[in-house]
Amino acid sequence: MPYAKELRIAQLAVQRATLLTKSVFHTTAKGTVSKEDHSPVTVGDFGAQALIISALRHHFPDDEIVAEEEAAELIANKPLSERIWSYVQATMLEDESAEQELGGPIQSEQEMLDAIDMGKSPGGAKGRIWAIDPIDGTKGFLRGGQYAVCLALMVDGDVKVGVLGCPNLPVDDSAPLDAHAGENQTDAEGKGVIFSAVLGEGATSGALSRGALSKEAPIHMKPIEDITQATFCESVESGHSSHSDQAAIAKLLGITKPSVRMDSQAKYGSIARGAGDLYLRLPVRADYEEKIWDHAAGDLIVREAGGEVTDVTGKRLDFTLGRTLKANKGVVAAPKAVHGKILEAVKQVLSSK
Ligand SMILES: Nc1ncnc2c1ncn2[C@@H]1O[C@H](COP(=O)(O)O)[C@@H](O)[C@H]1OP(=O)(O)O
Ligand SMILES: [Mg+2]
Ligand SMILES: [Mg+2]
Ligand SMILES: [Mg+2]
């Protein structure tokens, strides 16, 4: 299979990073600080980013990396840096050979800070570029809701590999779609799923494990016979996508089921495995540029599962333009057969505003 090594390293790296986020979740002090744009970042975000970058550097030292977080804040905040370092040191895959495969532990706090800062590539249309969101849906993570550890490889602006670690979604692809699953289920009861895709090779899901990778199975979007029976996913945060526009679109389509609100790219994973049907992300602000790390893995996983992903104008998401999706507004993801119909409703609602 093409990109087999990249896929395997990405899956192991995502899996290890989720272990760190889970141990941070179980402490009361999550080291939450507010970034310049007022969004939160935690010990979990920084630690997960350090672990993923260190594994990528070990195997693919010449690849570029676009990652959400940077270390500047930590250089000024030594106690926070030390806390992250203690989690990074304590986190390893329980399977020793898998841990070794990732290149073993980071050697020092400084090396960890350097790793965090290796995600500053401007991105673009040329070469091999990894996109990392160490915790997507930080607000969901803090609430005990959905979040995802996201990693994608783009080659010449095309997403080739995508991996989403979703520690609070059920493993079972046929479990009813429940935004609160993570709040009332334990790991032993089958919580934690990893979604993956390689361009042209399909999409899969498997159990997130604490060690070696688990067995995976192909996933597919659910064919929709009757759009009025569809379930659509949307953000929890009304500041991230327009709940009112999404409700108007659903109404126009005759959808009566309530939306399922969940944070993060868990929405892409959920529709890719047929637990939900549609993902609508209508812009709230005309000037917001979606970040590539918020969509690269999910876009590929949904397309490989039989879906179509565009923006609200019907254009494919364009990952060639740098760290953001400058040429796109919003996201409409649906099974291929009905995407056109959904898009018509989106356009109608937007043009009547
Ligand atoms: N105004 C906005 N419109 C769309 N997405 C946003 C906006 N502000 C922040 N985000 C991003 O939405 C993502 C979460 O999406 P969701 O609501 O689907 O969980 C986060 O990565 C968050 O970025 P950030 O990491 O900077 O907070
Ligand atoms: Mg994000
Ligand atoms: Mg994030
Ligand atoms: Mg963030």
pLDDT of amino acid 100: 97
Q: What are phi and psi of 92, to 5 degrees?
A: -150, 155
Q: Considering 160, 188, 219, which residue would you say is the last residue of a domain?
A: 219
Are 141 and 236 part of one and the same domain? no
| Region 279-291 average pLDDT | 97
| Region 60-84 average pLDDT | 95
| Region 38-52 average pLDDT | 94
Cα of 240 to ligand 1 centre, how many Å?
Answer: 5
Q: What is the pLDDT of residues 254-283, one digit of tens each?
A: 999 999 999 999 999 999 999 999 999 999
Indicate which CATH number applies to the domain containing 295. 3.40.190.80
Whether the predicted pLDDT of 182 surpasses 80: no
Of all protein residues, the one whose alpha carbon is nearest to atom 4 of ligand 1 is 240
Residues annotated catalytic, as ranges: 45, 138
- Determine if residue 63 is labeled as part of a ligand binding site: no
Q: What is the pLDDT of residues 109-129, one digit of tens each?
A: 999 999 999 999 999 999 999
Q: Considering 190, 219, 248, which residue would you say is the last residue of a domain?
A: 219
Are 80 and 101 part of one and the same domain? yes
Question: Which residues hold their Cβ within 5 A of ligand 3, which is an ion?
Answer: 68, 133, 135-136
Whether the predicted pLDDT of 200 surpasses 80: yes
Are 247 and 192 part of one and the same domain? no
Other CB atoms within 10 Å distance of the CB of residue 286: 6
Are 234 and 252 part of one and the same domain? yes
CB 116 within 8 A of CB 51: no
Are 213 and 256 part of one and the same domain? no
pLDDT of amino acid 39: 84
Cα of 228 to ligand 2 centre, how many Å?
Answer: 30
pLDDT band at 205 (very low <50, low <70, confident <90, very high): very high
- Determine if residue 129 is labeled as part of a ligand binding site: no
CB 23 within 8 A of CB 90: yes
Are 263 and 212 part of one and the same domain? no
Of all protein residues, the one whose alpha carbon is nearest to atom 11 of ligand 1 is 240
Q: Considering 177, 193, 219, which residue would you say is the last residue of a domain?
A: 219
Whether the predicted pLDDT of 31 surpasses 90: no
Q: Is 321 exposed, middle or buried (0-12, 13-18, 19+ CB in 10 A)?
A: middle
Are 165 and 25 part of one and the same domain? yes
Whether the predicted pLDDT of 73 surpasses 90: no
Determine the atom of ligand 1 nearest the C-alpha atom of 146: 19
| Region 318-343 average pLDDT | 98
Are 203 and 298 part of one and the same domain? no
Percent of the chain whose predicted confidence (pLDDT) is above 90:
90
Determine the atom of ligand 1 nearest the C-alpha atom of 293: 21
Q: What are phi and psi of 310, to 5 degrees?
A: -135, 180
Are 314 and 277 part of one and the same domain? yes
Tokens 């917001």 sit at which residue? 288
Are 149 and 231 part of one and the same domain? no
Determine the atom of ligand 1 nearest the C-alpha atom of 40: 27
Domain count, the chain: 2
Q: Which domain holds residue 294?
A: 227-351
pLDDT of amino acid 38: 81
Indicate which CATH number applies to the domain containing 55. 3.30.540.10
How far is residue 110's CA from residue 112's CA, in Å, rounded to a whole number?
5
pLDDT of amino acid 188: 80
Are 54 and 150 part of one and the same domain? yes
Tokens 């996913």 sit at which residue? 233
Query: What pTM did the predictor assign?
Result: 0.97
User: Does residue 180 or residue 309 have the better pLDDT?
Assistant: 309
Are 199 and 135 part of one and the same domain? yes
Whether the predicted pLDDT of 29 surpasses 90: no
pLDDT of amino acid 180: 83
